[in-house]
Structure 1
Amino acid sequence: MVQALFIHEMERFVGRTRELKKLHDIDEESEPSIVIVYGRRRVGKTELLEQAFRDRNILKFEGIEGLSEAEQFANAMRQLANYVQDDLLNKVNIKSWSEFFDIVAKYTKEGRWTIYLEELQWLANYEDKLISELKYAWDNLFRRNSEIILVLCGSAPSFMLDKVVHSKALYNRSQHEIHLQELNILDTKSFLKKRSDREIFNAYLTVGGVPEYLKWLDKESSVFLSLCHNAFTSGSFFSREYEKIFTSSLANNKHYQEIIETLSKHKFLSREELATKLKISSGGTLSTLLTDLDKCGFISKYHPYNLNDGTNIIRYAIADNYLHFYFNFIKPILTNIANGDYDDAPQSAIKMDSYAKWLGFAFERWCRRYNRLIAKILGFSGIQYRSGAFFSRTTNKKDPGYQIDLVFDRADNVYTICEIKYLQSPAGIKVISDMEKKLSLFPNKGNKTLHKVLICNEGADSSVLERAYFDQIITCKDLIEAS
């Protein structure tokens, strides 16, 4: 008798409506299917798959980081022996994944089975041999059961895309793909249901919409106290998470961390600046490394909104919220944290004014990423537009740090220019002079109408409202309600 994996219904499972519907539709199709799921560490892949398929018979085989191929074989056989309650399988010395799949197929010939390969990059040791052998097993064994679902899940997006999604071995074989992203801000509000809008945004800007991270920010009376306790005490979760991210998401290559650590010291860098600082060629090797980090969601590249993707004016920056926080506030005092210097008063490890300023930069990044939401609030989401930050070679010469945070170049002959602030109180009159300074260097080609927008978490005070300078003002409440 096979004792499949038992999954409890998860009380704190929020969001993922689109992904759950897709997985339930696959379940109801009653045809053999391959589901490929990938995303960064801690984003909730396992919870999604287990909750979606908990009414099915699940055989889950999980790879372990650092094991050799032979050790992965032995570990997979141990897991299978537990499911089928047969200790003799522990003594079977398989030499290939084909042998393993042959054995698994004997137990999954009939019924609603889900064969779930977790942390596939470790099972496969970052090579494509497992996928090649899986092709034969799928074509000749597994798909004979019309109710079977094969799940291939991994925390290394570059591996999952290059070796699995784009693999010729699995091409055109009832394949479904889910790139699981972070929770959005509305789902984060549901997750942190007792928190104020301000605390919800503070949490999101600090660690992103990563469910496992958000849990750690909901353990004390405030998000801030939870953050301090779980970032600045010895052995704390966030102080130890950094090294684990690279272990699960990328193959062992020192250059990945070198790029992240170099970018952590700058708001952004060009490709040439990165190559110079890393002392490596600006050619193909660097391209591959940057692409892999981009696929993992750790960095992003952006260019002026008015130039196409082929432009040479590209800036690279860290995109992951947790990594931003780690490099700014944890890494500089990591030795002190390990020594327990802040155990009695962890909030003393961070200066509130520095944290508040940092949240402002994080909010700018968030607004650029969710530009479609902002367009929806402003009422022109149905109009074609290009959006992004604005800077140019000319502005770089006049003011090297110049940048308009967010510009919408709209097809209806309008530029929507956004000034973005994240403050402790409503924006004061200075926000107008800040905007005017930026507009003085903005080239209004075609003499389009300028639509001036203030995006500020706390809105604006009476001195700004009385001037009626901004055409529209967006607050955090507006952003959450529109999500």
Structure 2
Amino acid sequence: MTEGFVDRADELDFLRDAVRSDGFELILLYGRRRVGKTELAKAVLEEHDGIYHVVVEEEGSKQRESLVASISQSVSSYTPAVADWEDVFEWFVSVADGEVLVIDEFPRLIAEDDSIPSRFQKFVDEYLQTTDITLILTGSSIGMMEDLMAYENPLYGRRTGQIDLRAFSFRDAVPLLPGEFEDQIQFFSVFGGIPFYLDQIDPEKALMENVRDRICDRNAVLNQEPRMLVKQEFRSPARYLSILESVASGKTRPKRIADDTDIPLQSISKYLAKLESIRLLEHTKPVTSRNTRSRDGIYTLGDHFFEFWYRFIYPNMSDVVRDPDAFVESLDLRQFVGRQFEDICREVIDAEANYPKIGSWWYEEDEIDVVALDEDRDRILFGEAKWRSTEVGSSELERLRAKSERVRWRSDQREERFALFSKRGFTDNLREEAADGDVALYDLDRIERVFTASR
């Protein structure tokens, strides 16, 4: 749908400024697979002379030769023989003249040779520091890219900037989604905010037609995308696939995940940590918790499309392949979309209200979809999101007020506000009650106006 590179205005401006600077620049560009790193780097190269090289998984000498071949295609009429990295560096600075050099998937060099950070430290210090070359290193291995910024890493202090490229929020994705606002919420709930997945949407078709043709069709690129991505990340993917399916089905705590997947409890944490490090899982905790790794924390899928695929497609693949029309007709996505709608409602508060901490809250059997804190001014907001076909009435506000009394956070001094979010609006009685001033009501029209005003 989006036909290639999609809007990353802030990030593109940052890279443009780096390229136009008078001195050497080293930019780290990282994020999970399919988030748009390569497209962003290539967008810069369309505007400025430069070299693009993607590292492949091969023996170290082959990696050097491949890099030299990419450079020679752009800035030299010959391809020299190189015996080591020193030869590559010396030759590059002899033929370069202020170009941009993009090395895509830089962590693959490190995986083959763990001395690469030290070698590139020398490259920067002895060859590049006095030039106006811009070196952009990209990577999907988030942990390895973040290690390059660590104090003990040889490249520490050499970078001049970094971009941690994330999936689009709903607010940012709206211009890329088809249909009316309600349709856009449902499309985002299924396809999420990864540009490559948004690019697969056919805007001329309804959501369920897109699910059938773009996801369920065995020849569609998204049909096996989550499985293939996990296989790319892990040599033995079976346990990781089982964990993702388990979390998508509602097992969110380590013990329940271990029981559901038959992975020993003492081993489950290392698998969870690896999935979290590549942003396929997120560890969240009640927003009022002060402990960063609270026992109350839960695991959720870090991507809407992955959550949809592991919840509905992966465990039913035989039905999906045998009769995609019947499978799609049997899908009931109301509860699933309602869960994603909660995330969108938290975005609303982030866009419109001044609360530094926004999340959710739960304790035992009680849950509150939206809780926002302003610790400096002792303010707290409680909100509930309802994705249903009937209006929300006063009883929902009463239940929200009752649950709010169980939230232990500055109970004697806090200023409380409440918010209700509804797909189908609100009853007249609730609107009258909300007129008192401590309750905000958000129907889809108001939510749409909030996002339009904040873009």
Letter in 2 for 1:332: P
Correspondence for 2:440 among 456, 459, 472: 472
Match runs of 1:84-483 below 5 Å: 89=80, 92=81, 94=82, 96-108=84-96, 110=97, 112-125=98-111, 128-145=114-131, 147-163=132-148, 168-192=153-177, 195-247=179-231, 250-252=233-235, 254=237, 256-269=240-253, 271-274=254-257, 279-280=263-264, 282=266, 289-310=271-292, 311-338=294-321, 341-342=323-324, 345=325, 348-351=326-329, 354-368=332-346, 370=347, 373-377=348-352, 379=353, 381=354, 386-392=357-363, 396=364, 399=365, 402-411=366-375, 412-424=377-389, 426-427=391-392, 431-432=396-397, 434-435=399-400, 438-439=403-404, 441-442=406-407, 445-446=411-412, 448-462=414-428, 464-468=430-434, 471-474=439-442, 475=444, 476-483=447-454
- CA offsets 1:314-345 (integer angstroms, 9 cap, x no match): 22222211110111121122234445x32xx3
Identity value in percent: 19
User: How many angstroms does 1:418 deviate by?
Assistant: 0.4
User: How many angstroms does 1:472 deviate by?
Assistant: 0.8
CA contact (8 A) 1:206 1:322 kept: yes
CA contact (8 A) 1:428 1:463 kept: yes
Matched residue SS, 1:133: helix
User: How many angstroms does 1:438 deviate by?
Assistant: 3.6
Of the structure 1 ranges 112-121 and 156-165, higher mean CA displacement relative to structure 2 is found in 156-165
Letter in 2 for 1:191: L
Distance in 2 (CA, whole Å) between partners of 1:439 and 1:135 is 54
CA contact (8 A) 2:386 2:423 kept: yes
Of the structure 1 ranges 72-81 and 17-26, higher mean CA displacement relative to structure 2 is found in 72-81
Matched residue SS, 1:217: coil
User: How many angstroms does 1:481 deviate by?
Assistant: 2.2
CA contact (8 A) 1:128 1:163 kept: no
User: How many angstroms does 1:353 deviate by?
Assistant: 6.3
Distance in 1 (CA, whole Å) between partners of 2:115 and 2:249 is 39
Cα 1:136–1:410, aligned 2, differ >3 Å: closer, same or farther? closer
Aligned length: 443
User: How many angstroms does 1:237 deviate by?
Assistant: 1.9
User: How many angstroms does 1:210 deviate by?
Assistant: 1.4
Q: 1:5 maps to what in 2?
A: none
Matched residue SS, 1:350: helix
Structure 2 residue runs without a partner (length 5+): none
Distance in 1 (CA, whole Å) between partners of 2:316 and 2:150 is 41
- CA offsets 1:54-108 (integer angstroms, 9 cap, x no match): 22221111022x434344344334434544575765xx4x554443333333321
Matched residue SS, 1:416: strand
Distance in 2 (CA, whole Å) between partners of 1:301 and 1:437 is 27
User: How many angstroms does 1:452 deviate by?
Assistant: 2.1
- CA offsets 1:151-182 (integer angstroms, 9 cap, x no match): 10011211211246666221222431110112
Cα 1:11–1:319, aligned 2, differ >3 Å: closer, same or farther? closer
Cα 1:257–1:328, aligned 2, differ >3 Å: closer, same or farther? closer
Cα 1:57–1:294, aligned 2, differ >3 Å: closer, same or farther? same
Cα 1:82–1:27, aligned 2, differ >3 Å: closer, same or farther? closer
Q: 1:30 maps to what in 2?
A: 22
- CA offsets 1:347-382 (integer angstroms, 9 cap, x no match): x323576212101112223444x3xx40552x4x0x
Matched residue SS, 1:173: coil
Structure 1 residue runs without a partner (length 5+): 1-9
Of the structure 1 ranges 453-462 and 33-42, higher mean CA displacement relative to structure 2 is found in 453-462
Q: 2:60 maps to what in 1?
A: 69
Letter in 1 for 2:92: V
Matched residue SS, 1:24: helix
